[in-house]
Structure 1
Amino acid sequence: MIAPSLLGESLALQLTSQDDNLEILLDKKDINGLPKLILFCLEEVELSNSIKLEIHKLKERWEQSPVLIVLPKSIKLSSDDLMTFGSEGVIQDPTVELLRDTINILIGGGRVFKINNETNYNADSIHNSYGLGHWLLTSGLSQINKDLYTIDQIIAKKSINTFYLFILIGRRRELLTAKRLILWLWGPLEVLIESPIKSNNNKNIINKYNTDITIKNTSTNELWNVIYKRVKERLQDDLTNSTGELAALYSLNKSKRYNLLKTLLKEFSTIIIKLDSKDNREKGLEEILQSITPELRANTLRNFIDSYDRLKKNGVDVFISDFLVHNADLGILDDELPSIALIIDPILNNKPLLLDGDYLSIEDPRSIIQLETFILNWIFRTAEIVSEEIISSCSEWPELRKYFLNKELVSTRELERKRNHINTNNQLQNLFKKPVRLYESKRLYYTVKNNKIEKIITLEPRDDELKKLDWAQRQIAFIIELRDALAPQVQAIIQYLGDLIVLILTKVVGRSIGLIGRGIAQGMGRNLSKG
């Protein structure tokens, strides 16, 4: 364990008291051989480069030992920065139990990243669990942390004079010393480790991490289970649409829309499981993926509603799912959707992902988050195509409208207006927005943030797709290229004309007006003097 002396001793005592199998060394001189884990505890995180350098040195000395970084509750670095440290685990503000479990997972070859959490405790529960003394202790530490935060905010503004700055730095040093002394005397590590609440069901604690990734091993099943769980948590029934698009998907009523998204995720998971078999691996991924899309959409239409649901059509009971499958065009392609192989191939074959110029292993948390974004984008785009087919079927079979669509779309007029709006938007996307996006090497992704569907624009080479555009679409790209080529010349001409006009107005017209005015003034002055 690498930690300040008081913190390290107290933490080691708490961990070994809960797990007799743990042996924690605080001095590197006591190490014989290769440590199974390096626990790196930080009280303050100011500069990420210094921490990266320290971890790099640890890796050079003990290359095969995983590194677990333990962070305080308040830090100035983002989760993106913390995931670039190169450690096997980063955990922020853990309980002793959570830290113990994390240590065991990393020793077993897994990875854990729990960053940017917000932990709230019920004050009454703390009072009842530990008594008045502990409540007073936590209140005092809370006040110290509040003062430290206020001082850090003032210092960060850099708008105070030097004398006042020295006073604030001195006050900050006093508060930190008082905090360490309290922790040394009373024991509970309120900075790095929140004291657990002793209750049977532990309902009084709310522990939420913005980045919560736990990988117990590097098998395909484990990696997919982690991604599947993260995607499923984001597909809530109350998702709001902030994209200005996905009109067909949000024409479905709330329950059908939610069932459609969940079913697409399950169907995708089924594909992963099937392709993970040895027989399918030998056939080749590309050969199998060619037949996946129509089959997957057909299974989705069959499974996202009850397969036994029937409605009257021309006086005859008809199974809704069968009608949708036979009436829908299951082979429609979305040109903006990346190849599904970009998602499946890394998961099945443990291939690295290229992200921001770096190849990242599939176990890297940034790879997990990137694959999660790919899958969410695939789900929303596929759901939009399936929803358009459902709306088309509702136009042919009016009885389906109450079953699938929002109330306002039961009206024939409103439904046709919605269909025209969707078709017009698709044509605009295909004729204008798509060529521009291809020429600018941009791709649009849909993802979920804060329970909202949002758009993300990423840069990636799309020259091959640009070459496949038809004549009309190429003209749009040519117009943009022509504008870029002519813009400097036009700008130079306008600037030259502007300078010429300023010269004429100031040097010619302005001087002429000045001479005329001077002549008038002199004439008036002479006339006045004569009078």
Structure 2
Amino acid sequence: MGRRPAQPLPQLLLFADPLERAGLTSWLEAADTSADPDGWGGCRVVVDSGELQGAPQLVLWCLGSLPEPQALDAESRRLLERWYPAPLLLLLPSKHPYGSDVLLQLPAQGLIEQADAETLRQAVTTLLAGGRVLAIAATRRGGDEPGPSVPMGLGQWLLLSGLQQIDAELRLCLRLLDPPPVDLLPLLLLQGRVRELRLARRLLLWLWGPVSLAWSQPLDGPDGAPDAPAPGPGVAITMRQRTAEGLWEALRGRLTAAAAAGPSNNSGQLLALDGLHASRRSDLLLGLLEQFHRLRQRLLQDDPRGEQLERLWRELQPELRQQALRHMAGSYVQLPMEGRLCPVAETLLHRSSLDADDLELPDPAAMLSPLLQARPLLVDGRLVAPDEPQAVLYLELLLSNWLVRSAELISAEVLAACAEWPELRRYLLRPELLATRNLERLRNQLNAQQRWTSWFERPIHLYESRRPLYRLGDGAIDCVDLTEPRDAELRQLGWVQQAVTLALEARDALGPQLRSLLKRLGDLLVVLLTQVLGRAIGLVGRGIVQGMGRSLNR
């Protein structure tokens, strides 16, 4: 039998400085398979377009000199148009002035920061197979140059000064609580001081703070001074295929890694999910993710559209939560209850009510349509393809929000069941919640927070067109706000919630007039003190001096 002819190597057109060209060529050219454990097949690297044999399969641009963001975007588009349909891979140095918002909007199919040989070869393989690669480290959003200082009035200066003092004192108390004092009295005093400072900050922002400051995070600079913009989280996305299946696999891999890490709570709110043991918390999130995968397969087979898709999604939510709860509890685990062994999963399902609707969940069509039909979606006012980095991160935010909120609903039912089944606490809850007092305190705090959110915070969110979303990533659960119209939900509020929105509207309407009135009263008081009272005091003093002078002359 004759030997098969060797397949031609893919052509790669390289744009790089002469010093970097040799190193990149040695990484990308064909290597000895016996010396390379990864079995890299290699590429034919071309540095001059005149040496190309046909069209290149990939264009690689290693940035030596860093252009302006507008010039980088324009040049990337010219390269894509010139060498279409070849994908474009950009290589960035470790120190560059571009913010993550600029990098995510570039039209390149691949973007790697500070690449090594293995990362570069994997990226080239993925791009040649029709996928996408994005790997950027933590960068400052919007660049590192400070913006022009905006003059502030006396009220803004007093507000920021008060916030800085509160934050500095709060950081000092938190530093003294890490590690916590051994004696009980100092521990209680410090914890009470922390609660007092947080309530004082919220009250100050509620009374005087603008909307942009009222729900922001505390200042983190030393001595209460505001820091430079905090670095955004690094992003690493690899899509093997630019289809709905490839998009789901990329999202599933990222969320699986985040859920398996046992995320902590950085949302600023008390979560029922915090009451679960760390391993059970991860099992619950992973179970929900697996159930979503199975639900997606079912929806792909049925292929519902429009209102039918939304109706089927809502009908299947209780079953999905039940299966996730069974996955977390274990199908064959039995624990004693009232002198006899009972199956944990079946008992929990019998005692739990998992068919409640979460009113804070956004429209599921925005999340399901790209994952089922690979439809474009609207992100920041732009209609982008679902395989774009911005669309992937937006879909990850929607999916992680659904995961956390579904896990929160299941966790609340688990806490209620543990209150009546003490033997279940050692199996599902944290060691701190074994005591009945601690468990009941947590449940009471969760109920009070839920009532406060329903009566006051949710009407404020609706009136300001904000939707809080939970984001799962970087080993923690944090909360971000999504701005979208919510007028239909606003009209469905009860009279208590509508009274809250009317109070906000009255504050917005009367606030400028009240500030103007106070300013005019202040100006009038200044005139009275300087022109009337000051002159009167001056005349009295002059009379006293003249009287003393006459007595001395005598």
Q: Which has the larger radius of gyration?
A: 1
Given that residues 28 and 42 in structure 2 are in contact (C-alpha distance below 8 angstroms), is that contact kept between their aligned partners in structure 1? Answer: no
1:87 aligns with 2:93: no
> What residue number does 2:152 align with?
none
> What residue number does 1:423 align with?
447
Residue identity opposite 1:274 in structure 2: R
Q: 1:382 to 1:416 in 2, by over 3 A?
A: same
For residues 323 and 281 of structure 1, the distance between their equivalents in structure 2, rounded to whole angstroms, comes to: 36
Q: 1:36 to 1:316 in 2, by over 3 A?
A: same
1:15 aligns with 2:33: no
Q: Structure 1 residue aligned with 2:48, among 27, 36, 47?
A: 27
Given that residues 274 and 280 in structure 1 are in contact (C-alpha distance below 8 angstroms), is that contact kept between their aligned partners in structure 2? Answer: no
- CA positional deviation for 1:116: 2.1
- CA positional deviation for 1:510: 0.7
Given that residues 263 and 473 in structure 2 are in contact (C-alpha distance below 8 angstroms), is that contact kept between their aligned partners in structure 1? Answer: no
For residues 367 and 95 of structure 2, the distance between their equivalents in structure 1, rounded to whole angstroms, comes to: 35
> What residue number does 1:5 align with?
18
Residue identity opposite 1:490 in structure 2: L
Structure 1 residues without counterparts, runs of 5 or longer: 119-152, 157-208
SS of structure 2 residue aligned to 1:456 = strand
For residues 95 and 71 of structure 2, the distance between their equivalents in structure 1, rounded to whole angstroms, comes to: 18
Q: Structure 2 residue aligned with 1:479, among 503, 506, 511?
A: 503
For residues 60 and 220 of structure 1, the distance between their equivalents in structure 2, rounded to whole angstroms, comes to: 25
Which segment drifts farther, 471-480 or 343-352?
Answer: 343-352
Q: Structure 2 residue aligned with 1:232, among 225, 238, 256?
A: 256
SS of structure 1 residue aligned to 2:44 = coil
> What residue number does 1:507 align with?
531
Given that residues 343 and 375 in structure 1 are in contact (C-alpha distance below 8 angstroms), is that contact kept between their aligned partners in structure 2? Answer: yes
SS of structure 1 residue aligned to 2:60 = strand
- CA positional deviation for 1:81: 2.1
Q: 1:505 to 1:477 in 2, by over 3 A?
A: same
Residue identity opposite 1:340 in structure 2: P
For residues 97 and 449 of structure 1, the distance between their equivalents in structure 2, rounded to whole angstroms, comes to: 25
> What residue number does 2:550 align with?
526
> What residue number does 2:177 align with?
none
- CA positional deviation for 1:342: 2.3
| Runs of 4+, deviation exceeding 6 Å | none
- CA positional deviation for 1:480: 0.2
- CA positional deviation for 1:466: 1.1
TM-score, length basis structure 2: 0.75
Structure 2 residues without counterparts, runs of 5 or longer: 1-13, 32-39, 147-232
> What residue number does 2:463 align with?
439
Q: Deviation digits for residues 54-73 of structure 1, max 9, x if unmatched?
A: 11222333342211111223
For residues 533 and 306 of structure 2, the distance between their equivalents in structure 1, rounded to whole angstroms, comes to: 85
Residue identity opposite 1:306 in structure 2: G
Q: Deviation digits for residues 299-339 of structure 1, max 9, x if unmatched?
A: 11212122122223333432111111121111222212223
Q: 1:412 to 1:10 in 2, by over 3 A?
A: closer
Given that residues 246 and 384 in structure 1 are in contact (C-alpha distance below 8 angstroms), is that contact kept between their aligned partners in structure 2? Answer: no
Residue identity opposite 1:370 in structure 2: Y
For residues 408 and 17 of structure 1, the distance between their equivalents in structure 2, rounded to whole angstroms, comes to: 58
Q: 1:336 to 1:413 in 2, by over 3 A?
A: same
1:78 aligns with 2:99: yes
For residues 99 and 135 of structure 2, the distance between their equivalents in structure 1, rounded to whole angstroms, comes to: 12
For residues 101 and 528 of structure 2, the distance between their equivalents in structure 1, rounded to whole angstroms, comes to: 57
SS of structure 1 residue aligned to 2:45 = coil
SS of structure 2 residue aligned to 1:453 = strand
Residue identity opposite 1:471 in structure 2: W
- CA positional deviation for 1:517: 0.8
Q: Structure 1 residue aligned with 2:133, among 98, 112, 115?
A: 112
Given that residues 255 and 472 in structure 2 are in contact (C-alpha distance below 8 angstroms), is that contact kept between their aligned partners in structure 1? Answer: no
Given that residues 244 and 370 in structure 2 are in contact (C-alpha distance below 8 angstroms), is that contact kept between their aligned partners in structure 1? Answer: no
- CA positional deviation for 1:110: 1.3
Q: 1:92 to 1:412 in 2, by over 3 A?
A: closer
> What residue number does 1:388 align with?
412
1:339 aligns with 2:363: yes
> What residue number does 1:296 align with?
320
> What residue number does 2:402 align with?
378
For residues 237 and 28 of structure 1, the distance between their equivalents in structure 2, rounded to whole angstroms, comes to: 47
Among all aligned residue pairs of Structure 1 and Structure 2, give the percentage whose two residues are the same amino acid.
Answer: 36
Residue identity opposite 2:435 in structure 1: S
Q: Alignment length, in residue pairs?
A: 443
> What residue number does 1:102 align with?
123
SS of structure 2 residue aligned to 1:235 = helix
Given that residues 325 and 345 in structure 2 are in contact (C-alpha distance below 8 angstroms), is that contact kept between their aligned partners in structure 1? Answer: yes
For residues 378 and 36 of structure 1, the distance between their equivalents in structure 2, rounded to whole angstroms, comes to: 39
